[in-house]
Amino acid sequence: MLRVLIVEDEKPIRELLNDFLSDEGYDTLLAENGQRGVDIARAEQPDLILMDLMLPLLDGFAAMRALKEDPQTRGIPVVVMSANSVLLMHLSDQLLADETLRKPFDLDQVLQVIESRIGINASGDYAGALPN
């Protein structure tokens, strides 16, 4: 089963994503701050990380830097979520995030981004177009 780490300090959003992705067949891991997210990523090696930017203890920028500088976690795709479009553009310019999602987001959009980044859906079926 594919695992997605959700790093989000707002409990309602964390629970919404957890419930939705669990219903879609993903195993989810939850972190309420950036430091916990980095620790879980290192220990559990999720297939993808959904990360908010504005986080306590260690913000999303610092957490992503820590993950991308660590050989153990640098290959894990990180999808950043934020309501601040200026911050999202900044991230794209710095190539810290593999993908960005603007809040509020559509849950189908979240699923599409996850499947495009992982390459397969939760059941293990290839999600993209068949290669030539």
Instruction: Give the residue among 13, 65, 19, 67 at the shortest CA–CA distance from 40.
Output: 67
How buried is residue 1: exposed, middle or buried, by Cβ count under 10 Å (0-12/13-18/19+)? exposed
Give me the pLDDT at residue 129, please.
42
DSSP-assigned states of every residue in 31-46: ESSHHHHHHHHHHH--
- Per-residue pLDDT of the chain (132 residues), as tens digits, is 899 999 999 999 999 999 999 999 999 999 999 999 999 999 999 999 999 989 999 998 899 999 999 999 999 999 999 888 777 676 655 657 788 888 899 999 999 999 999 876 666 665 544 333
Matching residue, tokens 């960005």? 100
**Residue 123 CB neighbour total at 10 angstroms:** 11
Domain 3-118 has CATH 3.40.50.2300: yes
The pLDDT score that the predictor gives to residue 40 is 98
Domain ranges of the chain: 3-118
Which of 96, 57, 52, 54 lies closest to 74, judged by CA? 96
pTM: 0.87
